[in-house]
Amino acid sequence: MAAFDPNEMITRFRDRATAVRKRPLPPIAGEERQLFIANSETDFRDFAIIGDAVASLEDGILTLRIDLNPPSK
């Protein structure tokens, strides 16, 4: 088994966030369409948050540091 690299994991989450943004809308309508859109927004947010993390792995403990403060202007 290959060694775990937290930065590779973060890169995969960034890639997933990008994939969600590019995901085509399936041919659905009404309530199902709204649910699909809501789920896509949630998926993007979750993947993007982890994709912005700074990871550290010390003594077998993975720590993700995520700044949730709004960007300063």
Which comes out higher in pLDDT, residue 70 or 44? 44
Count CB-CB contacts under 10 A for residue 7.
11
Write down the pLDDT at residue 2.
73
Q: Supply the mean pLDDT for the chain.
A: 92
Task: Find the mean pLDDT for residues 37-47.
Answer: 95
The answer, yes or no, to whether residue 46 has pLDDT greater than 70, is: yes
Mean pLDDT across 6-24: 95
Apex 34 CA angle, 32 and 39, nearest 5: 95
